[in-house]
């Protein structure tokens, strides 16, 4: 499965269009990560626990989007975008979406 954030796949021709595909995951903060983040806020620096949490969420949402595309018969997803939203206190959704296509 080819995944790209541009409208085409360089060197390939889009021969079939399957439409919008999406994947999402909702993740909650972890108490240990929250405590460390609070300490980091005092001294500054990267909040590595949250960086890892968001990376895992992006990967899971992307996997789900790619699986939806595969089930439609696509071999690529173009114009991929990511969005986040708060769904509850301490929980956020990461949403990946793009256009499923078949390229040759």
CA atoms within 13 A on the CB side of 38: 7
Q: Tokens at residue 34, please? A: 């929250």
Structural domains of the chain, ranges and CATH numbers in brackets: 2-103 (3.30.110.70)
- pLDDT for the residue numbered 78: 98
pLDDT in tens, 20-76: 999 999 988 655 555 554 555 556 677 677 778 889 999 999 999 999 999 999 999
Q: Is residue 83 over pLDDT 90? A: yes
- pLDDT for the residue numbered 102: 98
Distance CA 103, CA 48 (A): 38
Distance CA 96, CA 84 (A): 9
- pLDDT for the residue numbered 9: 96
């Amino acid at each position: 499965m080819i995944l790209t954030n541009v409208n085409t796949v360089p060197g390939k021709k889009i021969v079939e269009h399957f439409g919008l595909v999406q994947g999402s995951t909702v993740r909650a903060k972890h108490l240990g990560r929250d405590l460390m983040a609070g300490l980091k806020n005092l001294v500054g620096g990267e909040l590595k626990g949250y960086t890892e949490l968001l990376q895992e969420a992006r990967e899971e949402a992307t996997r789900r989007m790619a699986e939806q595309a595969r089930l439609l018969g696509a071999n690529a997803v173009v114009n991929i975008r990511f969005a986040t939203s708060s769904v509850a206190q301490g929980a956020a959704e990461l949403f990946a979406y793009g256009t499923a296509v078949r390229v040759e």
